[in-house]
Amino acid sequence: MKEKLQNLQKTALKEIFSAKDLKTLKEVAVAYLGKKGKLTEILHGVKDLPAESKPIIGKLSNEIKVELEKAFADKNKEIENLEIAKSLNEEWIDLTASGEKYEYGHLHPLTKTQHEVENIFHGMGFMVADGPEVECEKYNFDDLNIPATHPARDMQDTFFLDKKPDVKLGKLVLRTHTSPVQVRTMLKYGAPLKIIVPGRVFRNEALDACHEHTFDQVEGLMIDKEISLAHLKGVMAEFLSKLFEKEVKVRFRPGYFPFVEPGLELDMSCTICGGVGCKTCKHAGWLEFMGAGMVHPNVLKAGGIDPNVYQGWAFGFGLTRLIMMRYGIDDIRVLNGGDLRFVEQF
Ligand code: PHE
């Protein structure tokens, strides 16, 4: 019996030591120490042994039980440690490695400046309005006092859509300016009205550093009782001074647009030299900034507003041009060219 026990002890220890994973080790443990394990069965049988061998075998089997339990615990720990070490080896992180640069995207300079423009006008009580880029002839031309036969249509040569014209709205056209939103907004909200309309416009241009077929404008419109060009001067001086974060002066020159009367061009004092004269302003001290004027009575009528009660002014400037001035960009084509080397500079 004693010998049987010692053999069991030997083989059990051998099996424990050679176990390579926790599953095998557990099976060995069950085979010897489980409910029906080999050693458990011997321990149960001790009570039936002859009196003289009972204490000896009883003691020995208990000692073996304790020894095996310890061997199991030790081996268990050893395998666990090995598995941790193995996984660490497989998934290690080099804390000293220099990281990979994480590229953040950002808004396009056009969008950024558009947001700034919107904020400034919003602060002066203007609403930001929107209109379709594919416009109808009626809003883009006719309602703005530019009938089909008018030579002003040549000033804004554009892209017509190859669709059957609507009887009332005319042909579909990629809008040549943001001015069609004037009448659209008048019809929708009536007077009084204070809006700006930032948006994309299109023209059939021969492309060069100053001309693009697609660019951005900002329209402005203020209609109320007793509105004069003095309000326009005040609003624009305030807007430009806020945007350029320095005092900017404005001046009017006569200009022609069929949808305003009188029409004018607004110049701003040169932001580089402050009006003294430099290369940027060609030593004039002034930079051409936008077209504007008092809204023509025909346009108010087209918008359902009585020109005998209300009057107002409108302006339109090139957001694209403003950005070129602001950042010193000398070729318009880079703005929508999709070259990341340009965009990433902002
Ligand atoms: N729509 C004109 C243009 O694109 C600008 C303008 C707007 C002029 C409003 C006067 C009044 O050239």
Residue 32: what residue type?
Y
Distance 283 CA to ligand 1 centre (A): 26
17 and 56 share a domain? Answer: yes
The tokens 């110049």 sit on which residue? 267
The answer to whether the pTM exceeds 0.85 is no
Q: How many CA atoms lie within 13 A of 345 on its CB side?
A: 10
Atom of ligand 1 nearest to the CA of 290: 5
Q: For ligand 1, is residue 222 a contact (CB within 6 Å)?
A: no
> Distance between CA 259 and CA 256 in Å, rounded?
9
Q: For ligand 1, is residue 181 a contact (CB within 6 Å)?
A: no
The domain of 117 spans 109-343
Q: For ligand 1, is residue 171 a contact (CB within 6 Å)?
A: no
pLDDT of residue 106: 92
Distance 309 CA to ligand 1 centre (A): 23
116 and 85 share a domain? Answer: no
50 and 139 share a domain? Answer: no
179 and 132 share a domain? Answer: yes
**What residues are paired with 128 via a beta bridge?**
196
Q: Cα separations (Å) of 124 from 180, 220, 313?
A: 23, 12, 16
Which string of DSSP letters, residue by residue, matches 141-185?
Answer: TGGGT--TT-THHHHT---B-SSPPBTTTB-EEE-SSSTHHHHHH
Our measurement of the distance from residue 187's CA atom to the centroid of its chain's CA atoms, rounded to an integer in Å, reads 33
In a domain, 29, yes or no: yes
In a domain, 165, yes or no: yes
Nearest-Å Rg of the Cα atoms of the chain is 43
In a domain, 315, yes or no: yes
Total residue count of the chain as it appears in this document: 346
pLDDT of residue 279: 86
Considering only CA atoms, which of 1, 5, 3 is closest in space to residue 62?
A: 5
pLDDT of residue 240: 97
Count how many domains the chain has: 2
The helix/strand/coil state of 263 is strand
Q: Whose CA is nearest to atom 2 of ligand 1?
A: 316
pLDDT of residue 99: 84
Look up the CATH number of the domain holding residue 128.
Answer: 3.30.930.10
75 and 153 share a domain? Answer: no
pLDDT of residue 224: 98
In a domain, 98, yes or no: no
Considering only CA atoms, which of 56, 207, 186, 52 is closest in space to residue 129?
A: 186
Q: Return the best residue to mutate from 214, 222, 259, 261 for the ligand 1 pocket (most ligand atoms within 8 A of CB).
A: 259
Tell whether the torsion through CA atoms of 292, 232, 216 and 148 is positive or negative. negative
| Tens-binned pLDDT, residue by residue, of the chain (346 aa) | 788 888 989 999 999 999 899 999 999 999 999 999 998 988 888 888 888 888 888 898 899 999 999 999 999 999 999 989 888 888 888 889 888 888 888 999 999 999 999 999 999 999 999 999 999 999 999 999 999 888 878 777 789 999 999 999 999 999 999 999 999 999 999 999 999 999 999 998 888 888 899 999 999 999 999 999 999 999 999 999 999 999 999 999 999 999 999 999 999 999 888 889 988 889 999 999 999 999 999 999 999 999 999 999 999 999 998 999 888 888 999 998 889 999 989 8
pLDDT of residue 181: 98
Q: For ligand 1, is residue 220 a contact (CB within 6 Å)?
A: no
How big is the CA angle at 243 (ends 238 and 248), to the nearest 5 degrees?
50
Q: For ligand 1, is residue 316 a contact (CB within 6 Å)?
A: yes
